Amino acid sequence: MSGLTHFDAAGNAVMVDVAAKAATERTATAEGRVLISAETARLIAERGFAKGDVLSVAQLAGIMGAKRTPELIPLCHPLPLEKVAVTLALVADPPAVAITATCKVTAKTGVEMEALTAVAVAALTVYDMCKAVDKTMRITDIRLTHKAGGRSGTFTAA
């Protein structure tokens, strides 16, 4: 067909068959940002939101998101995640919450989707917790920055 792995010769959506592949250690890291106002950054830093500590809640949400990836993305394999690390940090210029997620597994397929989902869910949680005071927020630049393991080897974004 087109070289896309999630379609058969007839164009039907399929889960990739990984039965013949060897389980190897695989890691993936993704990142993203939530652009916020300076006032929102101040409130986050001072833990001034009624819903709680924005960065801590979003960190937990990102970890939960990684664990739920096969329930959210239809053709993802369920993976026995060995590590999910999500970090969030305030950035001053422009004001933003920077999010990074790294996932690790020993499996027959990679964890890119889990890392990307962790970042996306953490970003959505920041948005949800801050939306009452900042209607201008934007979730941006969610991307894979690194992956290692498997047949395709190592990828590091420029």
| Catalytic pick among 17, 128, 134, 141 | 128
Strands 96-107 and 155-156, how do they pair?
A: unpaired
Helices (H) and strands (E) in the chain, counts: 4, 5
* Separation CA 37–CA 26 (nearest Å): 37
Identity of the residue numbered 48: G
Strands 138-148 and 155-156, how do they pair?
A: antiparallel
* Beta sheet of 24-35, edge-to-edge order: 83-91, 96-107, 24-35, 138-148, 155-156
Q: Is 128 a catalytic residue?
A: yes
Enzyme catalytic residues = 128
